[in-house]
């Protein structure tokens, strides 16, 4: 843990020190901006413990809980360099994760943007991939939690080089990245509550799904190429994406040795391959205060086919909103509704939610706030998730629905 802390701290200190030295001679607005934000949640009556029978799928000994959690802290800095170049660095802290866990202190982004021509730039380093689908930053996803679709295809950070160009109504983003590894994400996770309950609690109260993961402590060294072409048509932006790359022996062995996927490879008479191939379509509609997004992604991870779609509609909490929404809401509150369906083409296994298709409804309400004695508080977000899955016949539904109120603070 100490080594992890020292390494991240040293990287950030060196970057910011170099940035400060590089911009010491610049004129005009502040050359270095430092900001931060935090998420504080109160989970309401969520199931955090239980026991699932691996044969019948029955769930017993359920335990519900309401509690306060400091979900995440962020500290980030942006520096403007000569000739239009910019450096961006951001660190996440997850206070509920064990101190020796790599996710406790996580280097979210560290990259350099270099302008190449009007409307074109080169990004070198680690950050969100702009070269596949809709980038699931908060401004795009609208809900506080990521959707299972984003967690599978677009959420994790990418390390490499990205070329981004916008010319008129057309845009093209191309990325060459270090390949991510196959891993899992958990649907319905309430910070560390289920982790504290051990394997039984995780199996009974959470649904896992196969995802592409950024693994800073164990990168494969393989490469992948990704690209997205987009076109703006009035208030609508549409895009088509493709992504392909290699995996190493460790990735293939992980999939092949998993009892959850052994039946799939036996039935199909195949073995795990070492390729990742995906394609996708997306669309974003924005006309204040209304917004809508649609995404469809599909492909294969080591020979395991995955596909899914997400549809979101809502109204933005912006001061510029007019008409009936402002009349009804007064403060121009935000309201978003999203539906997600995520499929995996394997035989469902009773004691492994990793092999189940999943669906999710999410409703998120955003209330901008201004409190004299809480000057950093920006908005309150109330969010509900209704999670369902196509489990084997006879298995009891996993109690992984979620309701929370979240305070977003920033400086």
pLDDT in tens, 36-62: 999 999 999 988 888 877 777 787 788
Per-residue pLDDT, averaged over 120-124, amounts to: 97
Phi and psi angles of residue 324, each rounded to the nearest 5 degrees, phi first: -65, -30
| Mean pLDDT of the residues in the chain | 86
In whole angstroms, what is the distance from residue 271 CA to residue 326 CA?
A: 57
Residue of 77, 17, 71, 4 whose CA lies nearest to 405: 71
For 340, other C-beta atoms within 10 Å of its C-beta total 24
pTM: 0.88
Domains along the chain? 2-410 (2.40.160.10)
Q: Distance from CA of residue 121 to its chain's centroid? A: 24
Residue 385 above 50 pLDDT?
yes
The radius of gyration computed from the CA coordinates of the chain, to the nearest angstrom, equals: 22
For 263, other C-beta atoms within 10 Å of its C-beta total 14
Residue 286 above 80 pLDDT?
yes
Residue of 110, 106, 107, 120 whose CA lies nearest to 87: 110
Per-residue pLDDT, averaged over 300-319, amounts to: 90
pLDDT band at residue 169 under the 50/70/90 scheme: very high
pLDDT band at residue 3 under the 50/70/90 scheme: very low
Phi and psi angles of residue 262, each rounded to the nearest 5 degrees, phi first: -60, -40
Residues 198-253 have pLDDT tens digits of: 777 787 888 999 999 998 877 888 999 999 999 999 999 999 999 999 988 888 88
Phi and psi angles of residue 20, each rounded to the nearest 5 degrees, phi first: -60, -40
pLDDT band at residue 196 under the 50/70/90 scheme: confident
Residue 157 above 60 pLDDT?
yes
Rounded to 10°, the helix 259-268/249-257 angle is 90
In whole angstroms, what is the distance from residue 286 CA to residue 234 CA?
A: 9
Residue of 96, 81, 108 whose CA lies nearest to 11: 108
Name the pairing type of β-strands 105-117 and 59-80: unpaired
In whole angstroms, what is the distance from residue 223 CA to residue 177 CA?
A: 6
Give the CA distances from residue 341 to residues 52, 223, 248, 391, 406, in Å, rounded to whole numbers and listed in that order.
24, 29, 29, 14, 25
In whole angstroms, what is the distance from residue 272 CA to residue 300 CA?
A: 11
The answer to whether 142 and 334 have CB atoms below 8 angstroms apart is yes
């Amino acid at each position: 843990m100490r080594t992890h802390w020292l390494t991240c701290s040293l990287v950030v200190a060196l970057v910011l020190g170099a940035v400060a030295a590089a911009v010491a001679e610049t004129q005009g607005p502040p050359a270095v901006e430092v900001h931060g934000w935090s998420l504080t949640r109160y989970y309401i009556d969520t199931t955090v413990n239980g026991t699932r029978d691996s044969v019948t799928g029955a769930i017993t000994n359920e335990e519900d809980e309401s509690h306060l959690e400091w979900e995440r802290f962020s500290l980030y800095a942006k520096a403007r360099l000569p000739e239009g170049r910019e450096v961006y660095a951001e660190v996440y802290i997850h206070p509920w994760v064990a101190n020796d866990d790599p996710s406790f202190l996580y280097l979210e982004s560290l990259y350099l943007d270099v302008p190449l021509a009007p409307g074109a730039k080169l990004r070198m380093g680690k950050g969100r991939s702009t070269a596949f689908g809709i980038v699931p930053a908060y401004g795009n996803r609208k809900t506080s939690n990521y959707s299972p679709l984003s967690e599978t295809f677009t959420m994790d950070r990418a390390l490499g080089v990205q070329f981004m160009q916008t010319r008129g109504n057309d845009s093209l983003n191309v990325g060459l990245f270090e390949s991510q590894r196959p891993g899992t994400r958990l649907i319905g996770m309430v910070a560390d509550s289920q982790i504290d309950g051990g394997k039984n609690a995780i199996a009974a109260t959470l649904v896992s799904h196969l995802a592409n993961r950024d693994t800073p402590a164990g990168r494969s060294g393989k490469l992948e190429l990704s690209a997205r072409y987009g076109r703006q048509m009035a208030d609508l932006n549409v895009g088509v994406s493709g992504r392909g790359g290699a995996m190493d022996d460790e990735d293939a062995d992980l999939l092949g040795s998993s009892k959850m996927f052994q039946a799939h490879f036996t039935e199909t008479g195949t073995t795990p391959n070492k390729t990742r191939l995906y394609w996708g379509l997306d669309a974003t509609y924005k006309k204040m205060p209304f917004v809508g997004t649609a995404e469809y992604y599909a492909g294969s991870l080591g020979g395991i086919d995955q596909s899914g779609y997400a549809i979101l509609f809502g109204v933005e909490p912006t001061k510029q909103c007019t008409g009936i929404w402002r009349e009804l809401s007064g403060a121009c509150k935000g309201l978003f509704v999203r539906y997600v369906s995520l499929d995996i083409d394997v035989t469902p296994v009773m004691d492994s939610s990793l092999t189940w298709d999943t669906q999710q409804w999410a409703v998120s309400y955003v209330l901008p706030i201004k409190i004299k004695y809480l000057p950093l508080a920006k908005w309150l977000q109330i969010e509900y998730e209704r999670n369902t899955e196509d489990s084997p016949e006879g298995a009891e539904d996993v109690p992984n629905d979620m309701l929370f109120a979240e305070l977003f603070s920033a400086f």
